[in-house]
Structure 1
Amino acid sequence: MSQPYVVVSADAHAAPDDIDQFVSYVDPAHREAVAAFGDLSSTAMTMLGGHDPGEIDDPDPVRATAARRLAGMGVDVDAAADWLSRYSTDWVFAGDANGKRLAVLEEQGIHAEVTYPGPVLTGGISPAMYLGSVTDTGLDAVWPALHGYNRWLAEFCAAAPGRRAGVIPVDLHDLPRAIDELRWARDNGIFGGVMLPAMSVRSKLPGYADEYFDPFWSACEDLGIVVNLHTGASGTATDSKYLYDDDHGGMLGLYEVFVFTRRPLWFMIFGGVFDRHPKLKVVVAENGVQWLPSLVRDMESFFDTHGGAPVRSHLKLRPSEYVEQHVYLAGSLMKRYEAEMCQEVGVTKLMWGTDYPHLEGAVPVHREVMRHIFSGLPEAEVRAMLGENAMELWDFDEVALREAAERVGPTTEEVARPLALTEFPETFSWSLARPVPLTARP
């Protein structure tokens, strides 16, 4: 019998349980400002280049906005709320919850996770919001909020040593402060890396091709810190109202959120960042998989033809070679056809993720999801995507992960058993290529 699979979710989210807990980690002198920002105040939304939710005629504009987005995507909001009220307290934990989160994941056959900032469940606040500021006006609350989250994150990761790779948010308007935060994170046992803004067109900061960021990249190299680009971490060209409008179902904004998350890659490649910083590693998370081969072909074509002479004169490698050496994908919400593309994408750079505890994920049926996605594929490829690639990239405790795999599985035989979408038990998820079973019918 083969060794069981080690399973690392390369995309998950973690946050304090509520705004009060989050704010308790913030320096007392800044708590009032951070709480106001977290409530999506007019100042905060202006910084993000969007609209004040106060324009929405509802006593709880944050939740009303979320409901509008779900409805626009064709989800039966009432049915979703009913499902959540019955099941979420058993399966969904934003933080450690006295070990309950780890127990749920082990039951699902998951042994470790890379955790990105996520919304505080009861308030709508997300530390990732602070990444998206498009102006330096009103930034007084930003660093206290970011460091407050990172303090909480250190405790969260320490509750499961070597099994949680927390990813810190930073603000890049103040590079020395950002570099200090990288060092602080490493000194406090946080090893998931750093989460960057996705280069909003409204930002006053230069693009990532600019040498302004070189001291930051150097610090990431020196400290062995992975650079993470996560979908939703600020910035689209579309006004934020299109994320929630009824006419388009949020599709305009949603599509651009995905595209803008990838945008730093061509800035870094054609800007020579990887020549100047050859040890840098970049992960693109929760952004799909199928786009990367197409992007590489496009970059190769432009490199050889349209206006490619200037970059050919100063770059040491071709675009495809930079991608091969520096870029990884955390394929959260991965579809089977994407797993089948692993040789084209690069089997050593593709990692599976759950997006836990977000609704786009598949709790409580991740074992079934693994069977649906990976059954019939070569065992070596499945091992790489499920966990070995992530263990190679991040500083997980390999001994602890393999012990957990021996204890709870999944076995190779379990994952090898095919499972069709129609055989899934009832759950609420977009990761199964269809909302199950709560899609609103016209």
Structure 2
Amino acid sequence: MSEPGGRSASGEDRYTVVSADCHAGADLLDYRPYLASRYHDEFDAWAATYVNPYEDLMADTADKNWNSERRLAELEEDGIVAEVVFPNTIPPFFPSGSLIAPAPTAEEYERRWAGLKAHNRWLADFCAAAPGRRAGVFQILLNDVEEAVKEIRRSVGAGLKGGLLLPGTPPGSGLPELYSSTYDPIWAVCEELDVPVNHHAGSASPPLGDEPAARAVFMVETTWFSHRALWHLVFGGAFRRHPGLKLVLTEQGSGWIPGVLDMLDYYHQRLVAAAARTSTAESKFGAGLAASMGRGPSEIWRENCFVGASFMRAHEVPLRDRIGVDKIMWGSDYPHDEGTYPYSREALRVAYAGVPRAEVAAMIGGNAARVYGFDLDFLDAIAAKAGPTVRELAEPLDETPPDATSPVFARGGSVRVW
């Protein structure tokens, strides 16, 4: 297993840290030049009355989302030399952040589609401002598959190498479920262009309202709704038809993966076996499943899937062999409050102190470089100055920073289960 990293001027070995989960976006009015000109008047009218629902996007620190120089400086200060960039701010014509906005109606589709394409164009410029250090994740909508495929090709051609952000199809969306072969052209072009399909937490939950209980239920359920993309694509046969397809599940935790794979293997084996016994009540559930899926769920995971293990916590780390050390990609979630900035070094110590060096190197940088196409030789030179030292991350963290807000540091969040 490779050990990406550089050697500092003092001779100490350093890790090359790539965050597989960061977020960015333009300030609202700065999207205007990236919109097709025919939408400018509509955008001006919409923006004039739009009220941003997110306090962090109205604060003095909001420019972390679009201030390239500030961002580079803060990430380097935090020990991070490259990032995978998911969306964060409000794209044109959206009621909220695109990750959690409901699927648009037919009437809303045209304007929101124009808004997402504007974001993708802005993101290409944002990534170009830091060559080799940002992999931008471009967005699509699922309402029109042919248009989505065109935008995938255009975005990759524009230099966005972070791959596709797959929207969810929550209950009530009116869209075909993700297991549908309707989406095969999307899987095919991502396989052809060798870019991953990313599915981020929050993008598949149904609307629940604003009551206190609803917000708590959202926190409990949002990752589960995001997990659904895994079994939809597995049972839908997407990986049999497109064996080179890569699926990345980001900011959904990682400790759930071994148990879910066991469950999926159980149902796969049970239903395939039942299909051979035509007289049983379950036989119809397994009919055609073996032919449509090909390999079993665990094998598909090993060959095709990865986890963006945002602010990975210590109790998840002992499961790394069952998840696959080569599948795990740590992320800081910058600039979110639940992210690890400015204590990413401390967060890495919480999770990885005592873990073999080669495994740490893979999980906090090497795997993301491989999946998203970063040049490690280039990044290692930056890490020689900015990266955390091997000796530093080997030391357990004795004292939590008092103003840290990431769940990594929450009570019980650093308990190891060996």
Scaled by the length of structure 1, what TM-score is found? 0.81
Q: Pick which of 4-13 and 248-257 moved more.
A: 248-257
Q: Per the alignment, in what secondary structure is the counterpart of residue 136 of structure 2? A: strand
| 1:379 paired residue number | 357
- Partners of 1:40 and 1:327 lie apart in 2 by 42
1:92–1:357 CA contact under 8 A, matched in 2: no
Two-structure CA RMSD over aligned residues (Å)? 2.7
Q: Pick which of 148-157 and 310-319 moved more.
A: 310-319
Cα deviations by residue, 1:170-194 (Å, 9 ceiling, x for unpaired): 0121112111111111111110001
Q: Pick which of 31-40 and 396-405 moved more.
A: 31-40
Match for 1:94: what amino acid? N
1:147 maps onto 2:124 in alignment: no
- Partners of 1:342 and 1:39 lie apart in 2 by 49
| 1:93 paired residue number | 64
- Partners of 1:98 and 1:287 lie apart in 2 by 27
Which segments of 5 or more consecutive residues in structure 2 lack a partner in the other structure?
1-10, 272-281, 414-418
1:341 maps onto 2:319 in alignment: yes
Cα deviations by residue, 1:262-283 (Å, 9 ceiling, x for unpaired): 1121111111110000000000
| 1:424 paired residue number | 401
CA distance 1:2–1:340, change in 2 (3 Å) = farther
Question: For residues 188-337 of structure 1, what are the structure 2 equivalents within 5 Å?
Answer: 188-236=158-206, 239-241=207-209, 244-246=210-212, 248=213, 250-306=215-271, 307=282, 309-310=286-287, 311-337=289-315
| 1:20 paired residue number | 29
- Partners of 1:231 and 1:388 lie apart in 2 by 23
CA distance 1:30–1:282, change in 2 (3 Å) = same
Q: Pick which of 31-40 and 141-150 moved more.
A: 31-40
CA distance 1:10–1:214, change in 2 (3 Å) = same
Which segments of 5 or more consecutive residues in structure 1 lack a partner in the other structure?
42-59, 68-80, 437-442
Match for 1:270: what amino acid? F
- Partners of 2:251 and 2:41 lie apart in 1 by 32
CA distance 1:191–1:36, change in 2 (3 Å) = farther
TM-aligned CA deviation for residue 98 of structure 1:
4.5
From 174, 182, 189, the counterpart of 2:152: 182
CA distance 1:292–1:28, change in 2 (3 Å) = same
| 2:17 paired residue number | 7
TM-aligned CA deviation for residue 33 of structure 1:
4.0
Q: Per the alignment, in what secondary structure is the counterpart of residue 209 of structure 1? A: coil
1:62 maps onto 2:30 in alignment: no
CA distance 1:322–1:38, change in 2 (3 Å) = farther
Match for 1:173: what amino acid? N
- Partners of 1:39 and 1:295 lie apart in 2 by 46
Match for 1:345: what amino acid? I
Cα deviations by residue, 1:99-156 (Å, 9 ceiling, x for unpaired): 11111101110010001010259x98424356x3153232121121011101110011
Q: Per the alignment, in what secondary structure is the counterpart of residue 404 of structure 2? A: coil
Q: Pick which of 299-308 and 261-270 moved more.
A: 299-308
1:292–1:345 CA contact under 8 A, matched in 2: yes
From 350, 369, 379, the counterpart of 1:391: 369
From 99, 102, 108, the counterpart of 1:128: 99
1:29 maps onto 2:38 in alignment: yes
Match for 1:409: what amino acid? G
Q: Per the alignment, in what secondary structure is the counterpart of residue 93 of structure 1? A: helix
Q: Per the alignment, in what secondary structure is the counterpart of residue 336 of structure 1? A: coil
Cα deviations by residue, 1:313-340 (Å, 9 ceiling, x for unpaired): 4432111101111110001121111122
- Partners of 2:226 and 2:319 lie apart in 1 by 21
Identity level (%): 34
Number of equivalenced pairs: 388
CA distance 1:39–1:169, change in 2 (3 Å) = farther
Cα deviations by residue, 1:293-315 (Å, 9 ceiling, x for unpaired): 11101111111225474223443
- Partners of 1:99 and 1:61 lie apart in 2 by 25
2:339–2:406 CA contact under 8 A, matched in 1: yes
TM-aligned CA deviation for residue 249 of structure 1:
6.4
- Partners of 2:257 and 2:188 lie apart in 1 by 26
- Partners of 1:12 and 1:126 lie apart in 2 by 15
TM-aligned CA deviation for residue 35 of structure 1:
6.2
| 1:362 paired residue number | 340
- Partners of 1:260 and 1:424 lie apart in 2 by 32
- Partners of 1:126 and 1:143 lie apart in 2 by 14
CA distance 1:129–1:38, change in 2 (3 Å) = farther
CA distance 1:26–1:61, change in 2 (3 Å) = closer
TM-aligned CA deviation for residue 30 of structure 1:
1.5
2:350–2:408 CA contact under 8 A, matched in 1: no
Q: Per the alignment, in what secondary structure is the counterpart of residue 198 of structure 1? A: coil
1:404 maps onto 2:372 in alignment: no
- Partners of 2:406 and 2:134 lie apart in 1 by 24
2:28–2:89 CA contact under 8 A, matched in 1: no
From 396, 399, 410, the counterpart of 1:433: 410
CA distance 1:124–1:425, change in 2 (3 Å) = farther
- Partners of 1:124 and 1:136 lie apart in 2 by 15
- Partners of 1:39 and 1:179 lie apart in 2 by 32
Q: Pick which of 339-348 and 31-40 moved more.
A: 31-40
TM-aligned CA deviation for residue 428 of structure 1:
3.1
